A = this chain, B = another copy of it.
Amino acid sequence: MQYVVNGTIVPAGKATLNVGDLAILRGYGIFDYFLFEEFRPLFFDQYLDRFYRSAERMHLEVPYSREELTRQILDLIAANGAKKGGIRLVLTGGYTEDGYSPSRPNLVIMQYPMPGHPESCYTEGVKLLTHPYRREVPDVKTINYLMGIQMLPKLRSSGAKELLYHSGPHITESTRSNFFLVTADDTLVTPAEDILYGITRHQVLDIASDVMKVEVRDVTLDELADCKEAFLTGSTKKVMPVVGINSLVVGTGRPGPVTQRIMQAYANRCEAYLQEKWRGQKSEIRG
């Protein structure tokens, strides 16, 4: 596999940053991650929007125009030759002079084989473990995963897939996903604030609002006991049923009908996006 480091395609094994980079010294950087199929990035505009917005919020200037970055990404996908996979963009604080102040950011584009989760995550559903935590800059996709990674041993020993973060009684998001639940009266609910505004979350809200009642609002831990279904959304998880939270069984303990309909509808939406968005552009993409 090849990566791009500051505009140059290099073999992954030779893709390095000097240790004076502010990500290494101070954990300062932002990133984003999206899938591509048939050489075509999924919901590409939305991911690029978020990437540039994250950078701005952290006072980092993306060193390339959107057009130039798009070209680098598509060139990398073409160079690697795999039809589908994942792309990670990382923008760091750059090579700092004083060990603390950001300078011209370093930008790395990494490509991975198509990521996946065990089939059972979708057929059986997954469990979550609640944890009191609020990400430091929740609406920005920073590289800071200190809490989630520090908690990995506890998460794994509990058999849970992710942490479900809450601030006091308010549920926000999970470690790397957004959280939804279906109430007893069949309303789809997801937290409104102190979250990363996920691209998959946005698509799911758009899909669901045509077919059911949807509320984007404060969600409390108390509501978990009465909900009929719950699920996570994320770029690699897509729509993943949640059947247990701590010792609580969610609904019947099996992926529910609303979740299954949304899983299918999201798959259809992705397919439609790839068909429509890139129609007639293939030569341009590969070129």
Contact = CB atoms under 8 A, between A and B. Distances in A.
Contacts of A20: 12, 15, 110
A111 to B, nearest CB: 12
Q: How large is the interface on A (under 10, 10 to 19, 20 to 34, 35 or more residues)?
A: 35 or more
| Best-buried of A29, A100, A136, A149 by chain B (most CB within 10 Å) | A149
Interface in A83-133: 88, 90, 92-93, 99-102, 108, 110, 112
Nearest to A175: B100
A3 interface: yes
A173 interface: no
A19 B108 contact: yes
B23 A27 contact: yes
Interface in A12-35: 12-13, 15-29, 31
Contacts of A26: 143-145, 149
B90 A27 contact: no
A19 B27 contact: no
A121 to B, nearest CB: 15
Interface string A46-61: 0000000000011100
A200 B3 CA distance: 43
Contact of A146 (B24, B110, B142): B142
Contact of A143 (B27, B101, B112, B150): B27
A212 interface: no
A233 to B, nearest CB: 18
28 contacts: A12-B20, A13-B18, A15-B19, A15-B20, A16-B17, A16-B18, A17-B19, A17-B24, A19-B108, A19-B110, A23-B23, A23-B24, A23-B27, A24-B92, A25-B31, A25-B90, A26-B145, A27-B27, A27-B143, A27-B146, A28-B146, A59-B150, A100-B148, A101-B152, A102-B152, A136-B144, A136-B146, A137-B147
Q: 10 shortest A-B CB distances, which residue pairs? A: A27-B27, A16-B16, A26-B145, A27-B143, A27-B144, A15-B19, A23-B24, A19-B108, A28-B149, A136-B146
